Amino acid sequence: MTTGTPGAIKAKMRMGDRVFSGSTIIAGAIILAVLAAVAVFLIAQSIPALVARPGQLPNAAPNFWVYVWPLVFGTIWAAAIALIFATPISIGVALFISHYAPRRVAQLLGYVIDLLAAVPSVVFGLWGIQVLAPAVQPFYAWLNTNVGWFPLFDGQVSGTGRTILTVAIVLAVMILPIMTAVCREVFLQTPRLHEEAALALGATRWEMIRTAVLPFGRPGVVSAAMLGLGRALGETMAVAMVLSPAVVVSFFVLTSQNPNTIASNIALQFPEAAGLGVNTLIASGLVLFVITFIVNAVARFVVNRRKAFSGAN
Amino acid sequence: MNFKRRALTRAASIAAIAIAGTMLLSSCAANEAPAAGSASTAPSTLSGTLNGIGSSAQGAAEIAWSADFQTANPNVTVNYDPQGSGAGRTSFISGAADFAGSDAALKDTELATPSPLCATGTKAIDLPVYISPIAIAYNVDGLKTLKLDAATIAGIFKGTITSWDDPAIKAQNAGAALPSAPITVVHRSDDSGTTQNFTEYLSANAPTVWDKPASQTYPYQIGDAAKGTSGVADAVKGAKNSIAYIDESGATGLGIAELKVGSSYVKISAAGAADVVAKSPIAPGRASGDLAIAIDRKITDKNAWPMVLVSYLITCQKYTDAAKGKLVAAYAAYAASSAGQQSAAKNAGSAPLSTELAAKVAKVIATIK
């Protein structure tokens, strides 16, 4: 038997290896195939709406982009306000769990917050209409009269409290669990040595968190925010139930005329849509697909840029 | 130790994310009617499956009918998918659904397209089977009765009458405790047959105020919008000094305004709504047997309630498949029968067809083959 290069030793392929690598390849291929199938469906169904002539589209929109613009604005606006509420709270809760609370309390709190993630969005929607909206309405009226000089609080105040601000609060509650979970995991991974060094240099606990934990956790916090943003952008039922939508682009957060979100608009209009109306809604879904894709790409970029300090090492 | 705890929390968070994901995906429930359990007394000879698609307004009634019908005919399965009126008509014409439920009768262009289900040379027909009065519901403390005419309603819902103590409202409600508060108008945020019929009523009775044509989408940018009948009801219940138009079945617990019909004010009633539909003429220019109704919105009869929604069953006059025709005829006959109408009234809060209209519908259904 003559062998070529004696240096290279080839490992014998074992059955287990083959099966395992084969199944991972299949799993990877399936997710790509599903994504591709969704994208192809969206694009194919969108084309009639994209090339529609004036007068054919819903809301008397001259073309698709005019139709979808208020929805894009509403989607991003609602998600952004939700993120403004949820980010500080989730960082606070995560820090409390990782650095302040006694272990038993921390564990319990962790489970309670994870439980919040298991509540279906319809329940949040019902809570939004029946509890939150009537409860915040008097406060909105007060804000409108007394702080009305602030541009966001201007306009005719809503009588029902079902405004984009209420929606943003509901969304913030919905994205809290996932953001808190990610932040907590990252904060827990702060190198023990950094923390102890800070304390040894005379830092108080807050100073230790500021100098050691937060800088270390920043990329994690950003990716947590992006995950939360992704969920807030796509949330459908709760928004559809709580929001009082109109076809507007408005920054006022206390009025009855709020820009709708893409997902909620699809949920509201699909049941009675026919013909080109369906294509238009699917095309707006494609726009949401692209927005979510961009958000995820940005999150990846931010996390990768700071890879050296990410939770991965 | 530390590592172990970390791994545990990580596992917990992954589990939580997985659960959240599952919850997100599983929010749609199937709409299948429960299969009938008990056998009927007279064994039925009917068997097969009927698939209907259409109006969500009719949804609750269709569930009641299909459940009753399947109880009486254990070998029959009836599926009704409330995708919406437009989707129902499209599916029926393409042959995807055996019958359609629709809040609007077939349009001329739709009538011109032959459905592969119907025998050549025959046309599809509209059968009125579901009537729902639309109420003007309000939530004002201490206001027991409220009387409104069409022009005032149009003004309120267009946003030109903005306060409860507006002279137009005061003039019709002498002595009523009208607050000097802004009116919160609530309308539907989703396209709906209720909005279509409400706007049709206003554009017929107050054309100078209500200057937009009737449409499924609420035409003015005013007031609050809420999803579905239940969403509107919740919004009105949650907000003082609010007013909305709503299917009567959803208005329980709220004040319901009296409507000026002719020269007197009328209280809402199922009989009044059914009466209007019965007295309205059949839409002209249709095949014999097509009972599309041109609702007389300007009717002035005593107790009539012209703010009403009529929803149709759309079927073929003659099906290519005779067995299917027999099945559809039997199902439609049950829906239009007194028992079927009572069942819908109980389960969906609709107004039963008047006897004369029911007889007319039954006569047409008897000819479905």
Give the A:B interface size as CB pairs under 8 Å: 141
Q: Looking at residue A101, which CATH number applies to its domain?
A: 1.10.3720.10
Compute the distance between CA of residue A15 and CA of residue A11 in angstroms, rounded to an integer.
12
Contact of A94 with chain B, judged by CB distance below 8 Å, is answered with no
| B235 interaction partners in chain A (CB closer than 8 Å) | 129, 160, 162, 244
Higher local confidence (pLDDT), A302 or B22 = A302
Report the pLDDT value the prediction gives residue B27, as an integer from 0 to 100.
41
Query: What pLDDT score does B13 carry?
Result: 55
For residues B250 and B326, state if they share a domain: no
DSSP state of B342: H
Residue B55: pLDDT over 80: yes
> Smallest CA–CA separation between A22 and chain B, in Å?
25
Answer whether residue B290 is part of any domain. no
Q: Looking at chain A from residue 25 to 44, which residues have their Cβ under 8 Å from any Cβ of chain B?
A: none
- Indicate whether B303 pLDDT > 80: yes
Q: Identify whether A93 is part of a domain.
A: yes
Which pLDDT tens digit goes with each residue over B60-103? 899 999 999 999 988 899 999 888 888 888 889 988 899 999 98
The 10s digit of each residue's pLDDT in B315-338 is: 998 899 888 999 999 999 999 999
Q: pLDDT-based confidence at A298, cuts 50/70/90?
A: confident
Question: Sign of torsion, CA B30 B33 B37 B39?
Answer: negative
Which one-letter DSSP state was computed for residue B214? P
Q: What number of CA atoms fall less than 13 Å from residue B59's CA on the CB side?
A: 17
pLDDT for residue A299: 78
Residue B300 has pLDDT above 60, yes or no: yes
Are A268 and B227 inside 8 Å of each other by CB? yes
Same domain for B125 and B147? no
Give the separation between CA A74 and CA A232, rounded to whole angstroms: 12
Contact B221 A246 (CB under 8 A): yes
Its ipTM equals 0.73
Closest CA of chain A from B296, distance in Å: 25
* A197 domain residue, yes or no: yes
Residue B269 · residue B305 · CB < 8 Å: yes
Q: What is the mean pLDDT of residues A259-278?
A: 86
Residue, of B225 and B3, whose pLDDT is higher: B225
Nearest CA in chain A to B216: A272
- Are B86 and B124 in the same domain? yes
**pLDDT number for residue A219:** 84
Q: Give yes or no for residue B20 having a pLDDT over 80.
A: no
B145 shares a domain with B257: yes
* CB within 8 Å: A160 and B238: yes
User: Could you say which of B85, B87, B190 has the minimum Cβ distance to residue A268?
Assistant: B190
Residue B2 inside a domain? The answer is no
> In chain A, whose CA is at the least distance from the CA of B2?
A188
Cβ–Cβ gap A270/B227 under 8 Å: no
Q: What's residue B83's pLDDT?
A: 81
Q: Are B110 and B162 in the same domain? A: no
Does residue B345 belong to any structural domain of this protein?
yes
Q: Does B6 or B218 have the greater pLDDT score?
A: B218
Shortest distance between the Cα of B193 and any Cα of chain A, in A, equals 9
Q: How many structural domains are present in chain B?
A: 2
Structure confidence at residue A164 as a pLDDT band (50, 70, 90): very high
Query: Does any CB of chain B come closer than 8 Å to the CB of residue A246?
Result: yes
Please state, rounded to an integer, the average pLDDT across all residues of chain A. 88
Chain A residues close to B226, C-beta within 8 Å: 129, 160, 162, 244
Of the listed ranges A281-290, B42-51, B78-87, the least confidently predicted one is: B42-51
- How many Å apart are CA A279 and CA A282, to the nearest integer? 5
Confidence of residue A313 (pLDDT cuts 50, 70, 90): very low
Query: What does the block give as tokens for B240?
Result: 């003082």
Q: Where are the beta strands (DSSP E) in B234-307?
A: 242-247, 255-256, 258-261, 264-266
How is residue B182 annotated by DSSP?
A: B
What's the CATH code of the domain at B247? 3.40.190.10
Structure tokens at B61: 């009634």
Give pLDDT, residue A300: 81
Res B228 pLDDT > 50: yes
- Best mutation target among A114, A116, A160, A256 (most B Cβ atoms within 10 Å) is A160
The rounded distance, in Å, linking the Cα atoms of B364 and B366 is 5
Helix (H) or strand (E) holding B130: strand B124-139
Residue B126 pLDDT exceeds 80:
yes
Confidence of residue B341 (pLDDT cuts 50, 70, 90): very high
- If pLDDT is split at 50, 70 and 90, which confidence band does B40 have? very low
Q: Which domain holds residue A223?
A: 74-278+289-309
For residues B185 and B145, what is the distance between their CA atoms, to the nearest angstrom? 18
Expressed as residue numbers, the domain containing B262 is 133-273
In a domain, A191, yes or no: yes
Domain-embedded: residue B289: no
In a domain, B123, yes or no: yes
- Domain identity same for B123 and B137: no
In chain A, the residue whose alpha carbon lies closest to the alpha carbon of B230 is A241
Q: B137 φ, ψ to 5°? A: -100, 140
Q: Provide, as residue numbers in chain A, all residues whose Cβ is less than 8 Å from the Cβ of B190.
A: 268-269, 271-272
Which chain A residue has the Cα nearest residue B241? A159
Quickly state the pLDDT bin for A312 (edges 50, 70, 90).
very low
B19 to chain A: closest CA residue: A118
Q: State how many domains chain A has.
A: 1
Q: What is the pLDDT of residue B313?
A: 93
Give the 3-state secondary structure percentages of chain B, helix then strand then coil, rounded to 5.
Answer: 40, 20, 40
Residue B296 inside a domain? The answer is no
Find chain B residues with C-beta within 8 A of A193's C-beta: none
Please give the share of chain A, as a percent, with pLDDT higher than 70.
95
Whether B9 sits inside 8 A of A256 (CB atoms) is no
Closest by Cα among A217, A215, A210, A221 to A178: A221
Which A residues 172-201 touch B at CB under 8 Å? 177-178, 181-182, 184-185, 188-189
Judged against a pLDDT cut of 50, whether residue A100 lies above it is answered with: yes
Chain-chain contact of B238 with A158 (C-beta, under 8 angstroms):
no
pLDDT for A30 equals 96
> Binning pLDDT at 50, 70 and 90, where does residue A52 land?
confident
Averaged pLDDT, B186-190: 90
Chain B residue with minimum CA distance to A188: B6
Q: Is residue A125 part of a domain?
A: yes
pLDDT above 90: residue B129:
yes
A196 falls within a domain = yes
Pairing of strands B184-188, B242-247: parallel
Task: Decide if B239 and A240 are in contact by the 8 Å CB cutoff.
Answer: no
Q: Write down the residue that tokens 């030793």 correspond to.
A: A9
Residues in chain B within 8 Å Cβ distance of A111? 12
Query: Terminus-to-terminus CA distance in chain B, angstroms?
Result: 77
Q: Examine the fold and report which residue of B243, B273, B303 is the final residue of a domain before the chain moves on.
A: B273
Q: Let me know whether B225 and B333 are in one domain.
A: no
Long-range (24+ apart) CB contacts under 8 A made by A250-253 are A250/A155, A251/A77, A251/A151, A251/A152, A252/A152, A252/A153, A252/A154, A252/A155, A253/A81, A253/A152, A253/A153, A253/A163, A253/A164, A253/A165, A253/A168
In chain B, residues with a C-beta closer than 8 Å to the C-beta of A110 are 9, 12
The pLDDT-based confidence of B208 (bands split at 50, 70, 90) is very high
CB contact (8 A) between residue A181 and residue B186? no
pLDDT value for A277: 85
**Partners of residue B25 in chain A, C-beta under 8 Å:** none
The distance of B359 to chain A (nearest Cα, Å) reads 31
Specify the pLDDT at position B11.
53
- Shortest distance between the Cα of A129 and any Cα of chain B, in A, equals 7
Q: Do B185 and B200 have their domain in common?
A: yes
Q: Which of B16, B89, B221 sits opposite A248 (nearest CB)?
A: B221
User: If you average pLDDT over residues A34-53, what whole number do you get?
Assistant: 91
Using the Cβ of A66 and the Cβ atoms of chain B, whether some distance falls under 8 Å is answered with: no
Question: Do B87 and B190 fall into the same domain?
Answer: no
* pLDDT band with cut points at 50, 70 and 90 for residue A187: very high
And the tokens for A23?
Answer: 């199944």
Pairwise CB contact (< 8 Å): A121 & B6: no
pLDDT: which is higher, A246 or A60: A246
Residue A252 within a domain: yes
Determine, for residues A114 and B13 on separate chains, whether the beta-carbon distance falls below 8 Å: yes
Complete DSSP assignment for chain A:
---S-SSPPPPPPPHHHHHHHHHHHHHHHHHHHHHHHHHHHHHHHHHHHHTPPTTSSGGG-SSHHHHHHHHHHHHHHHHHHHHHHHHHHHHHHHHIIIIIS-HHHHHHHHHHHHHHTTS-HHHHHHHIIIIIHHHHHHHHHHHHHHSTTSGGG-SPBPSS--SHHHHHHHHHHHHHHHHHHHHHHHHHTS-HHHHHHHHHTT--HHHHIIIIIHHHHHHHHHHHHHHHHHHHHH--HHHHHH--EES-----SSBS-EEPPHHHHHHHHGGG--THHHHHHHHHHHHHHHHHHHHHHHHHHHHHHTGGGSTT-
Shared-domain flag, residues B232 and B163? yes
A274 contact B CB<8A: yes
Closest CA to B244 of B256, B261, B260, B252: B256
Same domain, B95 and B190: no
Hey, how many other C-beta atoms are within 10 angstroms of the C-beta on B147?
Answer: 18
Asked if residue B175 belongs to a domain, the reply is: yes
pLDDT grade, residue B21 (50/70/90)? very low
Q: How remote is the C-alpha of A109 from its chain's centroid?
A: 22
Return d(Cα B101, Cα B13) in angstroms, integer. 46
C-alpha span between B127 and B367 (Å, rounded): 12
Same domain, B77 and B158: no
pLDDT at A273: 77
For residue A30, tell me if it sits in a domain.
Answer: no
Amino acid at site A282: I
Q: Is some CB atom of chain B closer than 8 A to the CB atom of A241?
A: yes
Decide if pLDDT at B282 tops 80.
Answer: yes
Using DSSP's 3-state secondary structure scheme, residue B102 falls into strand
Q: In the prediction, which pLDDT does A69 show?
A: 93
Q: Are B95 and B115 in contact (CB under 8 A)?
A: yes
| Residue A4 falls inside a structural domain | no
* Residue B323 domain flag: yes
